[in-house]
Structure 1
């Protein structure tokens, strides 16, 4: 395979993005690493990546301009990895409406803007892969991460629709759903937590914030391993050699267990309530 050109968002130290860059370079591919703060990714430039400043919450026009600049670096982009995200912690009563808006501005709307900027390039070439880093929270609405879970559930639906819209154009879509991986997602600089002001939530909120603080850098998942798997999936080599690459792939022991439990619960619900679920048509509909 000739080398691929990748663009990765959210490449600041300690996250999946940085791991992607190193894994991509190790395969002999080219990569354009991006982040809101260019100073934080200069070390990736020294490692062999091209680096560009990209704030995914910027205007669509500015993002379009940045993607055009990125395309000009190597003459094309083959793979876009939508990785940039953060997590807001707090119950629905404790998070302000602005907190929900900010969470969606990055995790959903920012991702959409970057993808929209790259899609014409892929469509014209009838080639390209778009990778989205979702989350176990796109499957399970855990308590205390309402805004984050909402943003990742929204992303799941948008990406699934995009997959069906663009697959016939030669554009591949991969939706990766990580469980708990040892990135800096839960670090003080990346996790935005709202202390509860509601007495009824005091015990829950304290336990949640204490638990998350203790879990930081103790998560079971290895982000380097995740990056290696995704690069294999894109390049159809390694563990993906000779296998049909799925559109959606949950990753992590915890992700496997919780997604399996939810699927089994959903199948049981469908069976237990089948008579009701299938009883809603007008009488003139063919059964």
Structure 2
């Protein structure tokens, strides 16, 4: 029986690739973007394409999800993929710019999840995949706000996973490394209006590195999307595997996460003897 996917941010990158891989399985796909007109390729392969801005009022998102459920009978897999990078130093980004980043990358995902969960709870099954990033493991120069949004998403994902697991619903964060998509260019990456001269020597080399790395990333988005689809459906190479709370995708992701875990363990061990002196006396 065909599953039904609801995927946000399908105009390019992972959203588009996941939608195509899901359709290749014969599944129903509700593919969304702020402008459905940009989803012509997905419409041609049978995806149901609709316009959705994840920053819309909750009632509008609820109505669109209800329309999808009315069309296909259920939503079996939700992929929260919509998002963008806000680069810049922590002091450089304005309150307005930071709030816009969180609105799309965190609160927008929450809004879509709230709309879908009642249907999954009713049938006691479903999978919710939040597109995280290796940025959710370590804060980095020039991308502190993007990293912080991904950190927030991980906290939400891990909490929700525990809350709904008894109801037959699985929640996972997909954490890709660098894949050769357009995510480091165009409207997917925005810069703050303000620049602080004192920070230029620290930030400019990282900004230049991002520019040079654009379209030179090691990850193949088609291979990444195929693995994601197999993981979320429990098919192919992922048959009989239990989805982890955090699923790394890419050689660079595995390497970086391993390094972070080792560094954090060393820091904890270095300070352990002092940390444990702060409890109340027995």
Q: SS where residue 200 of structure 2 aligns?
A: helix
1:89 to 75, 82, 87: 87
What residue is the counterpart of 1:6 in the other structure? Answer: 5
Pairs within 5 Å for 1:8-47: 8-13=7-12, 15-47=13-45
Paired residues, number: 282
Pairs within 5 Å for 1:185-264: 185-194=183-192, 197-264=195-262
What residue is the counterpart of 1:75 in the other structure? Answer: 73
- Whole-angstrom distance in 2 between the partners of 1:212 and 1:205: 11
Structure 1 stretches of 5 or more lacking a match?
A: none
Cα 1:196/1:98, change in 2 over 3 Å = closer
Give the deviation of 1:195 after TM superposition. Answer: 6.2
User: Structure 1 residue 55 and structure 2 residue 24: aligned?
Assistant: no
Give the deviation of 1:270 after TM superposition. Answer: 2.4
Deviation string 1:81-121 (CA, Å, 9 cap, x unpaired) is: 00000001100121111111000000000000000111111
- Whole-angstrom distance in 1 between the partners of 2:41 and 2:74: 23
What residue is the counterpart of 2:275 in the other structure? Answer: 277
Q: SS where residue 211 of structure 2 aligns?
A: helix
What residue is the counterpart of 1:116 in the other structure? Answer: 114
Deviation string 1:42-66 (CA, Å, 9 cap, x unpaired) is: 2211111011111101111111111
- Whole-angstrom distance in 2 between the partners of 1:161 and 1:264: 24
Give the deviation of 1:257 after TM superposition. Answer: 1.4
61-70 or 185-194, which deviates more: 185-194
Structure 2 stretches of 5 or more lacking a match?
A: none
Calculate the TM-score normalised by the size of structure 1.
0.94
- Whole-angstrom distance in 2 between the partners of 1:245 and 1:214: 34
- Whole-angstrom distance in 2 between the partners of 1:282 and 1:209: 47
- Whole-angstrom distance in 2 between the partners of 1:278 and 1:238: 47
Query: Does the 8 A contact of 2:7 with 2:19 survive in 1?
Result: yes
Query: Does the 8 A contact of 2:141 with 2:203 survive in 1?
Result: no
Off by >6 Å, runs of 4+ in structure 1? none
Query: Does the 8 A contact of 1:52 with 1:70 survive in 2?
Result: no
Query: Does the 8 A contact of 1:195 with 1:205 survive in 2?
Result: no
87-96 or 275-284, which deviates more: 275-284
User: What is the alpha-carbon root mean square deviation over aligned residues?
Assistant: 1.3
